[in-house]
Structure 1
Amino acid sequence: MRQNRITRLAVALAFAGFFGMSILPTRAASDPAFTQFIASLWPEAQAQGVSRATFDRETAGLEPDYKLPDLILPGRPATGAPSQAEFVQVPADYIKEASIARLAAEAQKLMAKYRSALDGIEKQFGVPAPIVLAIWGRETDFGRYTLPYDGVRVLATQAYVGRRKDQYRDEFILGLKLINDGEVTRKDLRASWAGATGLTQFLPSEFYKHAVDFDGDGRKDIWHSVPDALASAAEQLVNKGWQRGVRWAYEVTPPANTDCTSGVPEVTKPLRQWLREGFVPVRGQRLSAAEQAEEASLLQPEGVYGPSFLTTKNYFVIKEYNFSDLYVLFVGHLADRMVAPLPFATPWSASTQLRTKDVEAMQRHLTRIGLYADRVDGKAGMKTRSAVGAYQKQAGLTVDCWPSEAVLRSLSR
């Protein structure tokens, strides 16, 4: 009986081999060009202090993840960045009252839990505790959100076929350096699709520029140590120009004759001048003489609709953390809500947001007619909204500085 079973197995194997099949599990075929690319990075990794043993161990069997966004793949349509909520949602959807209220309540508990560390961070760096807590809440929901990707694989893929290859070439090597230096294990180096890692989402280069050992255990652990992660976020803000004692923004009621095209970072005036021109802080808030001397820019995230803000330099420092007006508004408002449970004084409107590709088309049209000179990135930021308002003036349309379907249709003609 045993001989018959052996015979049948031999026949089955021969039959499978004859037709070029395999009944055994197989690994996905390796990508020789990718393997060669990774191998070519060894001299640069060595120059950064990565050992040969670390390089070989962490790159052995490494394969690219072609499902990631923001890649340029030969023979395939270019994949754009994912539809980040900051750029495809209207403010009312992104800055949801329920989300803000939940995070603010949780942050108040965390404020008490980490009071000593937060007081120390504020004293040393000048960044208020609510700001760093709000960044932690926005980035990883106070650590509850698990980053989904293997950081080494993400960085390697973006370095190989990403839109920003040169940047990610350096980030990949620094990612290996993190492991080599014992800063983090490969298992804990989880990342977003763009390679950011840790409780407060740092790229490897940001770790080496800004990470802080605040709990004094000899490690800069932004993955497990809340004091280290929050102090590192504060240090990054300081290194990007944070001004001690300055608010991030003031919500205001604008005068009826406000020119929304002036809502760009380049147009700055002392707050006292904005007040003289009829901008009124909401809820009767009174600004000190020192506050009135601060330079500020006008921000109207929904054009003439919704709330208006006078933004200080610290607003733009937070924006360096994530280049989105809605991100900064979320972080700033969440920080405020930890202190006073008040929503924005002016409600958001029910406006709709154009798709990324439509905003890109709008930016190209505005560039062609000389009204826009910034990046064509599909993100309707301050400069795009101002350019829309300038076009509306030129075309005899209602000037509201909001990138709408009507404006896109007019431009397309």
Structure 2
Amino acid sequence: MNQVVRTLLSAVVLLASPILLAQETTEERGPEGFAAYVEAIKKEALADGYSESTLETAFANAEFYQRSVKADRNQPEFKLTLDTYLPRAVPEWKAKKAVEMFEKHQDLLEEIGAEYGVQPRFIVALWGIETNFGSFTGGMDVISALTTMAYEGRREEFFKKELWHALTIVEEGHIEIDQMKGSWAGAMGQAQFMPSSFMAYAVDYDGDGRKDIWGSMGDVFASAANYLKSVGWRDDVTWGRQVLIPENFDGDLASLKVKKSLAEWQELGVRRYDGSDLPVRDDIEASVVIPDDKQGRVFLAYNNYDALMRWNRSHYFVAAVGYLSDRIRFPRS
């Protein structure tokens, strides 16, 4: 994947991420005060009960990441539509690789899927969209990235909390500090969990005493499945479907806050993309989602769409995961 495309895809996720909303405007801090800030952080963490050995190890090579500050303050400015985003997020090679990876890990995926109540194809799709099946997890030192983002100042409280969680992960021995790599904002491993998500949802599935979302496939898959299960995933429905709406459709109804039965949407003129009637199920409520406008793609979003939005609050991200999961389920020859 070339750098332009990678930047394009990253922007969609980062612009929509819960950690990057409601930014405040403050004077940008340069690197000259970073060392003093690190020392202050270490004293505060020591007072909060972290061991001196943990802090010395964690901050031994801490450095100011200008790249993190630049990425946070200078998000790419360009117009995206779902029709331009999806082919880049899910190119044909990625769809084929998703099927290959599903088949390679099928026994483990089905075991985890049955235990957590999550269809394995969604685990693989998340893995593929987040980190290209583990091949692009970010090579930045997580402690340095989080400390930089806290020092930068616009969301210091949030990133300090994430830094404290990261220190706990180090102190509990889940990962060696030199292997604790992630994105410029501190998202870690093949699941791209922020440290707080790691603390809440990461699983030691292989039973080795560590929750290793960097290198253990069992831990990676089970952690993703545990997250989805915890936010209300259902394994008896899919994520959603592309649909057609009538010309006179009331745009105010297009919201995840509006839930109606499939029969009610049918009455309002919503149809499958091929024009046929919606499925007949009394146990499903759904929302209509229009990521761009009525001339673009329209989705009927089921319960699992909401769960994926908890993972990343971007309709584009959810559509990419859903589309890739469908390609795993119905691979093209």
What TM-score comes out, normalization by structure 2 length?
0.83
Cα separation, 1, equivalents of 2:247 and 2:295: 12
Deviations 1:228-272 (A, max 9, x none): 101101101111121231211121111121122321122221111
Say which is worse superposed, 106-115 or 259-268, in terms of deviation: 259-268
Match for residue 41 of structure 1 among 44, 56, 79: 44
2:76 corresponds in structure 1 to: 83
Query: Deviation string for 1:6-30 (max 9, x for gaps)?
Result: xxxxxxxxxxxxxxxxxxxxxx967
Alpha-carbon distance in 2 for matches of 1:285, 1:69: 50
After superposition, the Cα gap between the structure-2 partners of 1:285 and 1:222, relative to the gap in structure 1 and judged at 3 Å, is farther
Give the CA deviation at 1:284: 6.2
Tell me the CA shift for residue 81 of structure 1: 5.8
**8 Å CA contact 1:34, 1:63 repeated in 2:** no
Q: Is the Cα–Cα contact under 8 Å of residues 271 and 293 in structure 1 kept in the other structure?
A: no
Aligned to 1:65: 65
SS at 1:67's partner residue?
A: helix
CA contact (8 A) 2:38 2:147 kept: no
Residue 328 (structure 1) aligned to one of 302, 315, 318: 318
What's the counterpart of residue 125 of structure 1? 116
Within the candidate set 301, 305, 309, 1:319 is matched to 309
Matches within 5 A, 1:157-172: 157-172=148-163
Partners of 2:322 and 2:89 lie apart in 1 by 16
What SS does the corresponding residue of 2:242 show, helix, strand or coil?
strand
Contact 2:89/2:129 (8 A) holds in 1: no
Matched, 1:277 2:248: no
Per-residue CA deviation, residues 111-138 of structure 1 (Å, 9 max, x unaligned), is 1111111111211111111111011001
Q: Do structure 1's residue 265 and structure 2's residue 265 form an aligned pair?
A: no
Alignment-mate amino acid for residue 160 of structure 1:
Y
Q: Within the alignment, does 1:302 sit opposite 2:305 as a pair? A: no
Match of 2:245 among 243, 248, 254: 254
Aligned counterparts of 1:100 and 1:286: Cα–Cα separation in 2: 30
Report the equivalent of 1:199.
190
Once superposed, what is the RMSD of the aligned Cα atoms?
2.4
In structure 1, distance between residues paired with 2:246 and 2:47: 57
Q: Which has the higher contact order (CA 8 A, sep 6+)?
A: 2
Residues 215 and 288 of structure 1, relative CA distance in 2, 3 Å threshold: farther
Give the corresponding residue for 1:55: 55
Deviation at 1:62, TM superposition (A): 2.9
Give the TM-score, by structure 1 length: 0.68
Q: Which moved more, 1:132-141 or 1:181-190?
A: 181-190
* Contact in 1 for aligned 2:69/2:148 (Cα 8 Å): no
Partner amino acid for 2:177? Answer: R
Q: CA deviation at 1:331?
A: 0.2
Identity of aligned residues (%): 32
- 2:180 corresponding residue in structure 1: 189
Name 1:3's counterpart in structure 2.
none
Describe the SS at the equivalent of 2:210. coil
In structure 2, distance between residues paired with 1:326 and 1:138: 11
Question: Which amino acid letter does the alignment assign opposite residue 68 of structure 2?
Answer: L
Q: Give the 3 Å change call, closer, same or farther, for CA 218–316 of structure 1 in structure 2.
A: same
Is 1:102 aligned with 2:93?
A: yes
Aligned pair in 2 of structure 1 residues 285, 135: CA closer, same or farther (>3 Å)?
farther
Task: Give the deviation of 1:97 after TM superposition.
Answer: 6.6
Displacement of 1:277 in angstroms is 1.4
Deviation sequence 1:319-372 (CA, Å, 0-9, x none) = 111110000000001000112247xxxxxxxxxxxxxxxxxxxxxxxxxxxxxx
Rg (Cα) greater in structure:
1
Between stretches 223-232 and 208-217, larger displacement belongs to 208-217
**Match for residue 219 of structure 2 among 225, 228, 236:** 228
1:111 aligns with 2:102: yes
Could you tell me whether the CA contact under 8 Å between 2:42 and 2:55 is conserved in 1?
no
In the aligned structure 1, how far is the partner of 2:47 from the partner of 2:305?
36
Aligned to 2:26: none
Q: Distance in 1 between matches of 2:32 and 2:273?
A: 62
Find out whether 1:177 has 2:168 as its counterpart.
yes
Measured in 1, the distance between the counterparts of 2:188 and 2:247 equals 45
Q: CA deviation at 1:224?
A: 0.5
Structure 2 segments unaligned to the other structure (5+ residues): 1-30
Distance 1:113 1:62 in 2: 38
Classify 1:204/1:102 alpha carbon distance in 2 versus 1 (closer, same or farther; 3 Å).
same
Unaligned regions of 5+ residues in structure 1, if any?
1-27, 72-78, 343-413
Per-residue CA deviation, residues 25-73 of structure 1 (Å, 9 max, x unaligned), is xxx9674541343134224651xxx3211112322453332332379xx
* Contact 1:45-1:173 at 8 Å conserved across structures: no
Q: Do 1:159 and 1:165's aligned partners in 2 also have CA atoms closer than 8 Å?
A: yes
CA distance in 1, matches of 2:200, 2:34: 33
Amino acid at match of 2:41: I
Please state whether the residue corresponding to 2:163 is helix, strand or coil.
Answer: helix
